[in-house]
């Protein structure tokens, strides 16, 4: 199945609320678990960059897992960031800084970061190298990198089946977005090719029937 682009930014109020309230507990917990294994130090005191933070669920989970860290959370959707700012607890507000900006032109507070993470941004990008180039630009030797995203199913039928399996209880607007995201996602082989073209020595793993986890340490 060929890739079908979806809207790059989620700016519709209904989309934002449906996505923010969706049950992503299992994949998001998996993301943080793998990130802990990569960092190996819950006393990490550095600065992290969350690319495409959306409603900031991952940013908040990361901040709780690493209570000494600070996070710059960037997203191109202003409604997403406005929603995130109203839901982040007061205990995390001093450690999570929200940045409105669309890659690759977003102006970020720091020149380099100790950790760069991203969940479900890659499939939104018309040009995937925007993500990989941003990672290269803001990393340094030793930067921990963790990316999770969807994988494109082999057929439209499989995409619809995945939506029924994992989003049957969600609002129709989220089911449609989920389906569109499957069509816009990359295949495992395409992602490996992207990493090679970008010169990034990261490891890509299939960690579920619909997710890929890409990780490593910048050199």
pLDDT above 90 for 61 = yes
H runs (alpha helix) in 88-187: 90-93, 129-138, 156-167, 172-184
Sign of the dihedral through C-alpha 81, 212, 113, 102: negative
> 133: exposed, middle or buried (C-beta count within 10 Å: 0-12, 13-18, 19+)?
middle
CB 215 within 8 A of CB 203: yes
Quick check: bond before 104 cis, omega within 30? Answer: yes
Q: Where are the domains of the chain?
A: 13-217
Confidence at 5, pLDDT banded by 50, 70, 90: very high
How far is it, in rounded angstroms, from Cα 42 to Cα 25?
A: 21
| More confident: 79 or 16 | 79
**For 96-135, how does the pLDDT look when each residue is reduced to its tens digit (9 = 90+)?**
999 999 999 999 999 999 999 999 999 999 999 999 999 9
CA 83-89-92 angle, to 5 degrees, is 110
- CB count, 10 Å around CB of 109? 12
Q: Give pLDDT, residue 44.
A: 87
Among the ranges given (85-94, 127-136, 137-146, 159-168), the one the predictor scored with the smallest mean pLDDT: 85-94
Q: What is the pTM of this model?
A: 0.93
Residue 160 exposed, middle or buried by CB count within 10 Å (0-12, 13-18, 19+): middle
In CATH, the number for domain 13-217 is: 3.40.50.150
């Amino acid at each position: 199945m060929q890739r079908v682009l979806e809207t790059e930014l989620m700016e519709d109020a209904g989309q934002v609320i449906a996505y923010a309230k969706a049950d992503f507990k299992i994949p998001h917990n998996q993301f943080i678990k793998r990130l802990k294994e990569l960092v190996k130090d819950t006393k990490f005191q550095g600065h992290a960059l969350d690319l495409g933070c959306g409603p900031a669920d991952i940013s908040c989970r990361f901040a709780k897992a690493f209570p000494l860290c600070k996070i710059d959370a960037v997203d191109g959707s202003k409604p997403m960031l406005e929603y995130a700012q109203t839901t982040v607890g007061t205990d995390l507000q001093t450690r999570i800084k929200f940045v409105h900006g669309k890659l690759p032109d977003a102006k970020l507070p720091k020149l380099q970061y100790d950790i760069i993470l991203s969940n479900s941004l890659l499939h939104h990008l018309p040009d995937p190298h925007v993500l990989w180039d941003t990672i290269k630009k803001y990393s340094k030797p030793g930067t921990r990198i963790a990316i999770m995203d969807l994988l494109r199913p082999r057929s439209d039928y499989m995409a619809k089946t995945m939506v029924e399996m994992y989003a049957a209880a969600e609002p129709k607007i989220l089911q449609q977005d989920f389906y569109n995201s499957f069509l816009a996602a990359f295949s495992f082989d395409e992602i490996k090719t992207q990493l090679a073209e970008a010169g990034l020595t990261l490891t890509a793993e299939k960690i579920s029937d619909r997710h890929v986890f890409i990780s490593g340490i910048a050199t």
